[in-house]
Amino acid sequence: MSIEKEKGTYDIIPDDSLVFYSVRKNIEKIFQTYGYFFCETSSIQPEELFKRTIGIASDIVTKEMFYIESDKPRFVLKPEETAPLIFSLFENRLADSKVYEKFFYFTKVYRHEKPQKGRLREFYQYGAESLGDFKKERDGEMILLAEKILNQFGIEDYELNINNIGCKNCRAGYLNLLKDYFKKNQDNLCKDCQRKIDTNTLRIFDCKNENCKKVSLNAPLITDNLCSSCKNDFEELKDFLKENDLSYNVNPYIVRGLDYYEKNVFEFVETGGNLGSQSTLIGGGRYRYKKDNVLKNDITGVGFAGGVERLILSIPENVKKDLKREESCDVYVAHMGGKTFERSLKVVYFLREKGIKTDIFYNEARINKILSLASKKNVKLVLILGEEELSEEKITLKNMETGFQKKIKLDEKILLEEIKTEISNV
RNA sequence: GUGAGUGUAGUUCAAUUGGUUAGAGCUCUGGAUUGUGGUUCCAGCUGUUGGGGGUUCGAGUCCCCUCACUCACCCCA
């Protein structure tokens, strides 16, 4: 092809689109079941928004934004959905609404990174925000909800990691403590890490260098340096998870890359090896949008985001097959042309009117051709209306899974009942 | 952004130290079966070997450039 696409982008077309679409519907259904309301903001957002929320020093802001040619102020393709959504809710006076306080989204986001497995430049994120006071029930529901999504798609190889990254009262103190520790030991750190001491202290924990690992091993941990409020919040979350039989690991090294996170944070990590080195399925936690010249008060809440493509990569093949089936027609009608075609169309229109997913092959074709097509389309039932059936005022109903078939009276109401019972058996 | 690897049919992979017309499975199309699919059998289609340049009598194979993908770092969903 002479026209090249942007790397790290892809098109959603069959068969994969069937899985994608089913995943989307299932996710949205779960959110609604938990009382969350759908939202989606524009893909085009002011750069300023992300600078002030996810942080001027964050990787996303410093090197991963797609800039759009436009008048001032500079606009970017949104790299995440939380900040645009929170600001939109604030502008529309919904940030402290009691009617609407829980929101979900399913939207495209953009990050200019080098693509690899599980990492794209344009990808979908699903996520939720629950605005209001910090409460263990809010955090807990978020985690239950996130896990519910993984379970819905038969994903079993994952771990839940939690941490508390502190708040304005204890976080800065801890960082200073950590900086002092690394400065004392900087001779044993690699050059990269020496540079990180002042700019990106926490990232030293991620270094793969053996010497750095050794130094990190004895470094002070955030979990040992929390203020009483954070400590209490963390314990409450653990209690909640225990009460709800959720197993978790405390991972004091979890770092959130976005500045607005505070206190309890969590991550669902894939352990089945389906995501290569990009193992994070879902990341989330509590956050605080500090009051400034735009926000009149602090906005607090808890939320999470998951990558749709990573989720799909983690879904077992047999589950994907079922999802595809969910998206295909229930009934496919085979006719033999002429009057059988005319009569078949009436059946099709009737069934559609009754909410049965029904389709028909417009052209005249041999029966084995149509059945083969029906099989490829994953339909559950085929109705056959040939000259033979028409002359007896009957229609053949064939279950494509079992192969069982029977002739029934060519009467729409009787047909509908038969179809309903057959479908519910599949 | 840094480093490494791989690019051959729709797809998964072959092709002797460079040697003639680049092959096979699956998919696909048609038939066996003009009223029974998913199994089986038979037949058939599909390629600027990612692109460009170079070396050579001769390049899928060697060299250079470029692009794409993959993996890792980094980071994150």
User: Is residue A238 in a domain?
Assistant: no
- CATH number for A398: 3.40.50.800
Residue A405 lies in a domain: yes
ipTM of this predicted structure: 0.85
Domain membership flag for residue A175: no
Q: Are residues A262 and A370 in the same domain?
A: no
User: Are A175 and A49 within 8 A, CB to CB?
Assistant: no
- Consecutive 10-residue runs of chain A (426 residues): their mean pLDDT? 73 88 97 98 95 87 86 86 96 94 96 89 95 94 97 95 93 90 87 80 82 87 94 96 95 84 94 83 94 90 95 90 90 94 96 96 90 93 94 95 93 96 84
Whether residues A50 and A83 fall in one domain = yes
* A304 closest-nt by C1' vs CA: B77
Residue A215 covered by a domain: no
Q: Is residue A168 part of a domain?
A: no
Same domain, A153 and A52: yes
Domain enclosing residue A278, as ranges: 16-162+248-320
A4 falls within a domain: no
- In this structure, the answer to whether residues A307 and A344 fall within a common structural domain is no
| A252 in the same domain as A360 | no
The answer to whether the C-beta of A113 is closer than 7 A to strand B is: yes
Is residue A79, in this structure, part of any structural domain at all? yes
Residues A346 and A280 in one domain: no
**pLDDT at residue A278, rounded to an integer:** 79
Structure-derived torsion over alpha carbons of residues A31, A33, A34, A39, reported in degrees to the nearest 10: 40
Residue A7, pLDDT score: 84
Domain's final residue, options A303, A320, A337:
A320
Taking the C1' atom of every nucleotide in all shown strands and the CA of A388, the nearest one is B35
Q: What is the pLDDT of residue A10?
A: 86
Q: Would the Cβ of A256 be found within 7 angstroms of any atom in strand B? A: yes
End residue of a domain, out of A286, A320, A354: A320
Number of domains comprising chain A:
2
Residues A135 and A39 occupy one common structural domain: yes
| Residue showing tokens 């009051």 | A291
Same domain, A269 and A150: yes
pLDDT at A1: 37
Whether A412 maps to a domain, the answer reads yes
CATH number, domain with residue A93: 3.30.930.10
Domain boundary among A294, A320, A346: A320
Residues A316 and A368 in one domain: no
Residues 300-319 of A with CB under 7 A from strand B: 305-307, 309-310
**Residue A27 pLDDT:** 98
pLDDT attached to residue A116:
87
Predicted confidence at residue A110, as pLDDT, reads: 94
Residues 361-420 of A with CB under 7 A from strand B: 366-369, 371-372, 374-376, 384, 386-389, 396, 398, 400-401, 403, 405
Cβ within 8 Å of residue A266, ≥6 positions away = A139, A142, A143, A146, A160, A161, A162, A163, A248, A254, A283, A284, A285, A304
Nucleotide nearest to A63 (CA to C1'): B1
Same domain, A279 and A421: no
Is residue A418 located within the same domain as residue A269? Answer: no
pLDDT value for A342: 95
Q: Are residue A111 and residue A258 in the same domain, yes or no?
A: yes
- On chain B, which bases lie within 7 A of the protein's CB atoms? 1-3, 28, 30-31, 33-38, 67-77
